[in-house]
Structure 1
Amino acid sequence: MSSAKQVTWPQLLAFCGPCLPFAALGLPLAVTLSEYYITYIGISIAVVGYVFMAVKLIDIAVDPLIGWAMDRTRTRFGRFKLWIALCLPVLFISTGFMFLVPPGASALYMGVWLLVVYIGFSMAALSQSSWGSVLTTDYDERTKVFAFWQIGNIIGLLCVVSIPVIAQAIGQSYQTGVQWMGLFIMVTLPVMIGIALWVVPEKTSDAPTHDVRLGAYFDMIRRPNVIRVLLADLLMGLAPGIMGVLFFFYFMQTKGLTRFECTIAMALYFVAGLVGAPLWNWASKRYSKHKTLVVSSVIFAALYGLLAFVPAGNFPVMAMAVFLAGIPYAAYLLLTRSLMADIGDEVLLETGHDQKGTLMSILSATTKLGYAFSVLTLSALAALGFDNKAAHNSDQALMWVEIFFVGLPVVFLLLGAWAMKSYDLTPDRYAQIQAALKAKGLSRDTGASLGH
């Protein structure tokens, strides 16, 4: 039965459509491109690690500016829809330069276009997550929106991770497969963004814009619940970040598996996320979001630790272990964003200003910071004697690969669960916030604003 609190199925599907190209770009940025520029373009592992780290830190500094600008944007077209439209040309052009890279490209070439693509990706990720946060004000329906968002991301990941597999299966090179990844992103970007802009409306904020300050970014960071969510997001994001950066090195160098087998296993990891997303959505309705986030992180740590015990050369066992680790992987992204959207309504009640763009930019910054530190493990491993080009690395170097790949993520996941133990924006408290917002005239019926 339709209600004012529900987002329709066509709107959900259209809203998730841009996740395909966005996630298809996000995976290579986190996993494929660093290893590709090392192995096939010929830039040293240490230089790639430092360049990726530097670019991501610059990009993190840009996020609050984008979030602040989005919170000040008011147009008939929509504030978040406008920004998702603006990201299209930036991503389209920079994706072409990053993926269709000429042989022998320099570190400067890589750094410049990496920065441009990251800025475009920030515009895309922040505008879409902020847009999702205003599609509904219902506690559980909001989690549903982000669960579908996560499913859309996983489908995009599966599409892009399958491209090199298909390329190699029909006799093409891995390099060609990477180029096809870029072409897939460039084709789907205008199609999926166009459909979303056409089908999905945007709730116009009732809050004024004149007092939305850039300093609000720092005001938000001081809020206890924001600190808890940010810390959890940072720590929980380090695990899949490190996994993505070191995935091929770990399983090829320490477990003796082929690149093709590793690519298949990575696809299974994301397939498991399709199982996990609806599971965690259901659990959050029954046990609350923050409790589900804690439990999912502990389960993730336990299952991820099993990767250390995968027998060398045993692909079936490795594939099963990676699949199991992928089930809890889906939880933290959708739950932290839904929790941050709830905090945005609390901020609106207390301040009278809608600062969801700022809050989402803070959350995006911690996610990126986690991935930046993850990429830095490449430079750290190089300093510890690991050589990705060597036929055989020393036992000590491989030991460090295993410690970085398995040990660090398990510790970070457990710390992330600990960070959420004092979170206090419960479902009952959120219901009180929504009632107070309606009483103040700061929350309109969602159904009225979602209609065309």
Structure 2
Amino acid sequence: MSESAHTPTPNASQVSAGHLLAFIGPCLPFAALGLPLAVILSEYYVSEIGLNLGVVGLVFMSVRLVDIFVDPIVGWAMDKTRTRFGRFKLWMAICLPILFVSTGFIFLAPTGVSPLYLWVWLLVIYIGFSIATLSQASWGAVLSSDYNERTKVFAWWQMANIVGIIAVLLIPVIVQSVFHESYRLAVQYMGIFIMVLLPVMIGLALWIVPEKLSDTPAHNVRISDYFRMLKRPNVVRVLLADLWLGLAPGIMGALFFFYFMQTKGLSREQCSISMFLYFVAGLVGAPLWTWASKKYNKHKTLIISALIFAGIYALLGFLPANNFPLAAFLVFLAGIPYAASLLLTRALMADIGDEVLAESGQDHKGALMSILSATTKLGYAFSVLTMSALAVLGFDNKAAQNSPEALMWVQVFFVGLPVIFLLLGAWAMKSYDLTPERFAQIQAKLKQQGLAPNDPAHSTGS
């Protein structure tokens, strides 16, 4: 592979440290919200609020399935948005009041609320979360047009997400272990923490970070445009990889406490510490996979990380009971490859967005990121469905002792399914062909057409 393909272009493609830090700031409240949505709240509404396990699983799955259709609408709206304030920055501002209010209703819910209460406010919070994550990912895609710099942006984005996750995970540890308060109060403090960070971090990003505007005019985005994107082989490969690679950690998150508490004899506190270590490992993994993507390119790195993740994850099936140190160590190791998929799939889709722009003259980054977000959510929606499936198969998380058959199904779902999905994710990327060399040609073509988005004269912000 030629060295020139990996050398950053000497132009405005470099993102300054100040802009990068302000850009990733909203990741802290977004990730602090995303983790409970994926892992904690479903179990919390069963054990603390008092809703039925099967009902909660269906509520979370149905809301996530509805939310999937929100993403194309938001992507359509973002692709049509042209304002002096910015294109994606405007949508970042819109998400703030939606997330602030719905976070309060979800995290501070009183005992005995109905499934309808959970469904309505869960839908609102997911709509706000969709706007937040899509606007930030799309904004990140236009911060730089350089192949490696774009990976760096999303690597820092992923590390900030992990910091947000670690911060929110520390709250129950501190509240329960240091102050000896209840788990319910710990979850409520999570919500308050998110509500404090949201206006601060979003405000700083909007104030400090410029948005490099597209020179393409706002175009009429049609449903057929989405289907046209889905006809592109590389788009399909990235979407399939994102779906399979999202299912694996989604199932892990949904069943984490059930698996380790019911089948391996760990306490809730030990589970919380293990999950904390899992995300700490992501801080190690993100720069590692960024370095690897520069050496081997992005899609090969994604394949390697998925195979390593599958190998380490399979070892969890052989974990002996009541061995917290070994469990924590294996969970930590699994967190290193976990960090790769989100940052690399988004960097790859941003590259495809430039390819589409060079071919059609139309900027479809919002649409592409919305499709990618939809597959991620589809994976997590079906991940939560495993909770309802376990309830049907006889598993009861409140039982002092479940039957051997029920516990067997917990192990099959928790270990077996993710390993299969990780292998499928690696397989999906084997024919991806947007290489760094092709990407350099695309950028040259965009400059010739006057469509390169990294001109500092076309920026909004401070």
Give the shorter-chain TM-score range: over 0.9
- In structure 1, stretches of 5+ residues that fail to align are none
- Among 49, 57, 62, the residue aligned to 2:57: 49
CA deviation after TM superposition for structure 1 residue 330, in Å = 0.3
The one-letter amino acid paired with 1:159 is A
Q: Does the aligned pair in 2 maintain the 1:98–1:113 contact within 8 Å?
A: yes
CA deviation after TM superposition for structure 1 residue 213, in Å = 2.5
Question: Which residue in the other structure is 1:119 paired with?
Answer: 127
The one-letter amino acid paired with 2:335 is G
Question: Which residue in the other structure is 1:320 paired with?
Answer: 329
CA deviation after TM superposition for structure 1 residue 271, in Å = 0.2
Aligned partner of residue 7 in structure 1, secondary structure: coil
* 1:134-173 aligned within 5 A: 134-169=142-177, 170-173=179-182
CA deviation after TM superposition for structure 1 residue 30, in Å = 0.2
Distance in 2 between the 1:401 and 1:151 partners? 31
Distance in 2 between the 1:104 and 1:426 partners? 54
Give me the identity figure in percent.
Answer: 71
TM-score computed with the length of structure 1 as normaliser: 0.99
Q: Does the aligned pair in 2 maintain the 1:135–1:446 contact within 8 Å?
A: no
- Among 22, 35, 44, the residue aligned to 2:30: 22
* 1:39-438 aligned within 5 A: 39-169=47-177, 170-438=179-447
- Please give the per-residue CA displacement for 1:200-249, whole angstroms capped at 9, x wherever unaligned: 00011011113333431221112110000000000000010000000000
Q: Does the aligned pair in 1 maintain the 2:226–2:367 contact within 8 Å?
A: yes
Aligned partner of residue 266 in structure 2, secondary structure: coil
Distance in 1 between the 2:62 and 2:440 partners? 42
Distance in 2 between the 1:292 and 1:444 partners? 26
The one-letter amino acid paired with 1:84 is M
CA deviation after TM superposition for structure 1 residue 397, in Å = 0.5
Distance in 2 between the 1:351 and 1:212 partners? 13
TM-score computed with the length of structure 2 as normaliser: 0.96
Distance in 2 between the 1:231 and 1:340 partners? 12
* 1:23-38 aligned within 5 A: 23-38=31-46
Aligned partner of residue 215 in structure 1, secondary structure: helix
Q: Does the aligned pair in 1 maintain the 2:230–2:236 contact within 8 Å?
A: yes
Question: Which residue in the other structure is 2:20 paired with?
Answer: 12
Q: Does the aligned pair in 1 maintain the 2:86–2:213 contact within 8 Å?
A: yes
Q: Does the aligned pair in 2 maintain the 1:42–1:104 contact within 8 Å?
A: yes
The one-letter amino acid paired with 2:135 is S
Aligned residue-pair number: 452
Distance in 2 between the 1:444 and 1:117 partners? 32
The one-letter amino acid paired with 1:367 is T
- Please give the per-residue CA displacement for 1:52-85, whole angstroms capped at 9, x wherever unaligned: 1110010001110000000000000001000000
The one-letter amino acid paired with 2:207 is W
- Please give the per-residue CA displacement for 1:230-269, whole angstroms capped at 9, x wherever unaligned: 0000000001000000000000000000000000000000
The one-letter amino acid paired with 1:265 is S
Distance in 1 between the 2:454 and 2:50 partners? 56
CA deviation after TM superposition for structure 1 residue 362, in Å = 0.2
Aligned partner of residue 106 in structure 2, secondary structure: helix
**Higher alpha-carbon deviation: 223-232 or 212-221:** 212-221
Aligned partner of residue 144 in structure 1, secondary structure: helix
CA deviation after TM superposition for structure 1 residue 449, in Å = 4.0
CA deviation after TM superposition for structure 1 residue 447, in Å = 4.1
